[in-house]
């Protein structure tokens, strides 16, 4: 057997089998078996295909969202182009002004959809066959929100009535960080929506009738509400905030209408929470600011490092406001202050000296003060 003749597979060498291994070692030591290399290549291909298959659901979800946006954009672009052909004169200006409300500056794409019901029905029929796609519909407002499961939006604006339409659970909404709820008519509407958003950082609630006090939330619902990541709460309207504050242990920035804030101050439990948690307070729509009510607020919010006041009447002179607050803030670490409004001409001549002449501040004290763009700002 060893004396059998053999030809080398890699060169012109010819000899007997007994010498073949020695020839391979000397002349072809780096040659690899093609079959072995093929097996390794197949193994790598299998791993790559497995990885790609795992990424396909996420990629499909993203493409589905993008395709919906493109479809809507194309339809509305065509509508606008058709309208432009027939509206080249100044008569179209009122319509353009009305359309400006649909411009978004927060990264959300917003359209004013013409023939809403027709397009809504067509979209729902074409998209609800996909189990990963959901929608929230407010027919009265003619608004519809399409989203995927899980939802990858960072910010969402919802009308209050859509809470009953939302699927159970909250994990599918955990990517949402900024939530706005508007046209609210009851606290139950707020609860139905918030139970799905455990990881929001900012929350804005806009009550439909700001002169009406919303009723309390039922006790059976209070224990379910959890907002551990909420840092900023903005409220337009009047309702009891205790439930929301209790559910938000890390809340530290409150932006609130004056009438709503006054409604809270007779409740000791919520005042205790205000004292411990709130370090920035923005009070808006304050009609008829009086020293007594201002001092009352200062006594409750003892942990403030910044206070913002927005009077309802922007024409009032605000001289007495910083003077009153500086008398009430007698601790070593004083909050900064911003007031929307104008000081008197006397004060504006030299704001720093005016404060030194009328308060306990001294020339050697380190503080800054300015009046710019209709805002009085004081840093202490």
Instruction: Enumerate residues 6+ apart whose C-beta is below 8 A from 111.
Output: 72, 73, 76, 102
Q: What pLDDT score does 220 carry?
A: 43
Q: Tell me how far apart the alpha carbons of residues 152 and 77 are, in angstroms, rounded to a whole number.
A: 25
> Tokens 């291909």 appear where?
45
Q: How confident is the model at residue 158 (pLDDT cuts 50, 70, 90)?
A: confident
> Tokens 């938000």 appear where?
248
Residue 273 within any structural domain of the chain = no
Residue 240 within any structural domain of the chain = no
Choice among 157-166, 187-196, 277-286 with the minimum mean pLDDT: 157-166
CB 168 within 8 A of CB 199: no
% the chain with pLDDT above 90: 35
Number of domains in the chain: 1
Residue 70 within any structural domain of the chain = yes
Q: Backbone phi, then psi, for 21, in 5-degree steps?
A: -65, -40
Q: Tell me how far apart the alpha carbons of residues 325 and 295 are, in angstroms, rounded to a whole number.
A: 7
CB 169 within 8 A of CB 196: yes
Residue 335 within any structural domain of the chain = no
Coil vs helix vs strand at 96: helix
Helix axes 351-358, 320-328, angle to 10 degrees: 50
Average of per-residue pLDDT values in the chain: 77
Q: What pLDDT score does 338 carry?
A: 95
Is the pLDDT reported for residue 218 higher than 60?
no
Sign of the CA dihedral with 113 first, then 114, 118, and 119 last? negative
Instruction: Enumerate residues 6+ apart whose C-beta is below 8 A from 132.
Output: 60, 61, 64, 148, 149
* Domain assignment of residue 138, given as a range: 43-84+104-149
Q: What pLDDT score does 44 carry?
A: 59
Q: By 3-state DSSP, what share of the chain in percent is helix, strand and coil, each rounded to 5?
A: 45, 20, 35
Structure pTM? 0.65
Taking alpha carbons only, the member of 273, 321, 276, 317 closest to residue 295 is 321
Buried b (16+ CB within 10 A) or exposed e, 256-289: bbbbbbbbbeeeeebbebbeebbebbbbbebeeb
Select the highest-mean-pLDDT range: 37-41, 65-69, 260-264, 288-292: 260-264
Apex 30 CA angle, 27 and 32, nearest 5: 120
Q: What pLDDT score does 106 carry?
A: 45
Residue 202 within any structural domain of the chain = no
- Pairing type for strands 202-207 and 280-286 reads unpaired
More confident residue, 376 or 225: 376
Is the pLDDT reported for residue 45 higher than 90?
no
% the chain with pLDDT above 70: 64
Residue 131 within any structural domain of the chain = yes
Q: Backbone phi, then psi, for 341, in 5-degree steps?
A: 150, 175
Q: Give the burial class of 347: count Cβ atoms within 10 A of its Cβ; 0-12 exposed, 13-18 middle, 19 or more buried.
A: buried
Instruction: Enumerate residues 6+ apart whose C-beta is below 8 A from 37.
Output: none
Which ranges constitute the DSSP H helices of the chain?
Answer: 20-27, 34-86, 93-99, 116-127, 187-194, 219-222, 242-246, 258-264, 268-277, 291-300, 320-328, 345-349, 351-358
Q: How confident is the model at residue 315 (pLDDT cuts 50, 70, 90)?
A: confident
Residue 366 within any structural domain of the chain = no
More confident residue, 80 or 167: 167
Give the model confidence (pLDDT) of 297-307 as tens digits.
Answer: 999 999 999 99
Q: DSSP character for 213? A: B
Residue 376 within any structural domain of the chain = no
Q: How confident is the model at residue 23 (pLDDT cuts 50, 70, 90)?
A: confident
Choice among 104-113, 146-155, 273-282, 317-326 with the minimum mean pLDDT: 104-113
């Amino acid at each position: 057997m060893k004396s059998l003749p053999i030809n080398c597979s890699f060169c012109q060498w010819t000899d007997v089998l007994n010498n073949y291994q020695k020839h391979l070692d000397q002349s072809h030591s780096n040659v690899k078996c093609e079959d072995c290399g093929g097996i390794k290549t197949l193994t790598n291909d299998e791993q790559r295909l497995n990885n790609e298959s795992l990424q396909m659901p996420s990629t499909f979800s993203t493409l589905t969202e993008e395709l919906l946006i493109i479809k809507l954009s194309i339809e509305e672009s065509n509508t606008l182009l058709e309208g432009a052909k027939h509206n080249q004169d100044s008569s179209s200006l009122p319509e353009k002004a009305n359309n400006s409300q649909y411009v978004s500056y927060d990264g959300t794409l917003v359209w004013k959809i013409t023939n809403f019901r027709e397009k809504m029905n067509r979209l729902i029929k074409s998209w609800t066959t996909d189990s990963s796609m959901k929608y929230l519909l407010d027919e009265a407002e003619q608004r519809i929100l399409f989203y995927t499961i899980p939802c990858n939006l960072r910010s969402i604006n919802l009308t209050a009535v859509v809470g009953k339409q939302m699927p159970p659970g909250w994990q599918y909404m955990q990517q949402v960080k900024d939530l706005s709820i508007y046209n609210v008519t009851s606290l139950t509407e707020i609860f139905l929506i918030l139970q799905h958003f455990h990881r929001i950082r900012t929350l804005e609630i806009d009550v439909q009738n700001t002169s009406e006090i919303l009723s309390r939330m039922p006790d059976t619902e209070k224990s379910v509400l959890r907002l551990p990541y909420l840092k900023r709460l903005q409220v337009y309207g009047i309702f009891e905030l205790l439930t929301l504050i209790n559910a938000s242990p890390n809340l530290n920035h409150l932006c609130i209408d004056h009438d709503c804030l006054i409604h809270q101050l007779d409740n000791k439990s919520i005042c205790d929470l205000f004292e411990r948690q709130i370090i920035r307070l923005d009070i808006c729509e304050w009609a008829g600011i009086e020293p007594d009510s201002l001092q009352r607020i200062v006594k409750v919010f003892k942990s403030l490092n910044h206070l913002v006041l927005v009077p309802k009447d922007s024409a009032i002179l605000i001289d007495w406001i910083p003077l009153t607050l500086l008398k009430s803030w007698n601790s070593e670490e004083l909050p900064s202050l911003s007031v929307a409004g104008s000081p008197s001409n006397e004060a504006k001549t030299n704001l720093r000296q005016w404060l030194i002449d009328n308060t306990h501040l001294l020339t050697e004290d380190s503080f800054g003060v300015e009046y710019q763009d209709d805002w009085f700002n004081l840093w202490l």
